Amino acid sequence: MKTMEPNTIQTDSGFSAGERDAVYKCIFNRRDVRGQFLPDPVPDAVLARILNAAHHAPSVGFMQPWDFIVVRDAAVKQRVRDAFETANLEAAGMFEDEKQKTYRRLKLEGIVEAPVGICITCDRSRTGPVVLGRTHQAEMDLYSAVCAVQNLWLAARVENIGVGWVSIIRPDDLRSALGIPPSIQIIAYLCVGYVAHFYQKPELETAGWLPRMPLSEVVWIDRWQARDTSDPLLGYL
């Protein structure tokens, strides 16, 4: 059997119980931040660590299709905010009655307040037309870029930095504000910065928009919506 080269072997691959618990703590305490941003600048060394975590996300065919646009200029952030306002008015009209009233009360972005914006994009042609692992699921490069978003989000949380994903925006308006070429797919615009506090629960859950679904309602065994009640896993959900 062929052996791995010495410099490719990961010798410290295990995690202690404390390290394991810290990962779960980070996951369970991650929040989508909208209104608690502080004006304090994010140090470049910290921002670089967060971006490096995003850059180490898994990617199909190791194509690393992402780019990161770091937005600090107040005028650029205002253009993004204006684009959000246009889309937000449209979105509010799509809900009815009490849902619309609740929607209009929600603060759904911190574009201007956050000291940093980060736009994550996907270059779908980065390594050529044929990509290992994308031959039968063409969207895998997009999923890879979304993994970069999650890596960034979790890394920011352990740095005690908040992140808010702004999805209520027309892609073409964001493209115009940031000078993104038509060939590049926009994945996410993120508001990033230190915050006054993190909420105990997600804001939409606290506001009564929707509850968190029990894990037991979304786990199935072997087939779609099939469940053997004798399966021991179900006792842990």
pLDDT exceeds 70 at position 59: yes
Helix/strand/coil for 127: coil
Range of the domain at 129: 26-197
CATH number of the CATH domain containing 180: 3.40.109.10
The candidate with the shortest Cα–Cα distance to 86, out of 168, 166, 167, is 168
Decide if 221 is inside a domain. Answer: no
pLDDT exceeds 90 at position 8: no
Average of per-residue pLDDT across 94-116? 94
Decide if 227 is inside a domain. Answer: no
pLDDT exceeds 80 at position 48: yes
Average of per-residue pLDDT across 8-35? 90
The candidate with the shortest Cα–Cα distance to 22, out of 203, 198, 161, 157, is 157
Q: Which residue has the higher pLDDT, 228 or 236?
A: 236
The pLDDT score that the predictor gives to residue 4 is: 42
Query: pLDDT per residue over 108-118, tens digit each?
Result: 999 999 999 99
Decide if 86 is inside a domain. Answer: yes
The pLDDT score that the predictor gives to residue 1 is: 41
Provide the 10 A C-beta neighbour count for residue 185.
Answer: 16
The pLDDT score that the predictor gives to residue 12 is: 73
User: Using 50, 70 and 90 to split pLDDT, how confident is the model at 3?
Assistant: very low
Instruction: Give the strands of the sheet with 66-71, arranged side by side.
Output: 66-71, 116-122, 185-194, 161-166
The pLDDT score that the predictor gives to residue 131 is: 96
User: Using 50, 70 and 90 to split pLDDT, how confident is the model at 207?
Assistant: confident
Beta strands in 126-216 (DSSP E): 161-166, 185-194
Query: pLDDT per residue over 120-140, tens digit each?
Result: 999 999 999 999 999 999 999
Q: Position of tokens 């115009």?
A: 176
Decide if 234 is inside a domain. Answer: no
C-alpha 12/C-alpha 33 separation (Å) is 34
Query: pLDDT per residue over 174-199, tens digit each?
Result: 999 999 999 999 999 999 999 999 99
Average of per-residue pLDDT across 58-70? 98
Q: Structurally, how many domains does the chain consist of?
A: 1
The pLDDT score that the predictor gives to residue 228 is: 85
Decide if 231 is inside a domain. Answer: no
Distance of CA 169 to the CA centre of its chain: 16
Average of per-residue pLDDT across 204-216? 93
Decide if 213 is inside a domain. Answer: no
Decide if 1 is inside a domain. Answer: no
pLDDT exceeds 70 at position 38: yes
Decide if 54 is inside a domain. Answer: yes
Does the reported pTM lie above 0.85? yes
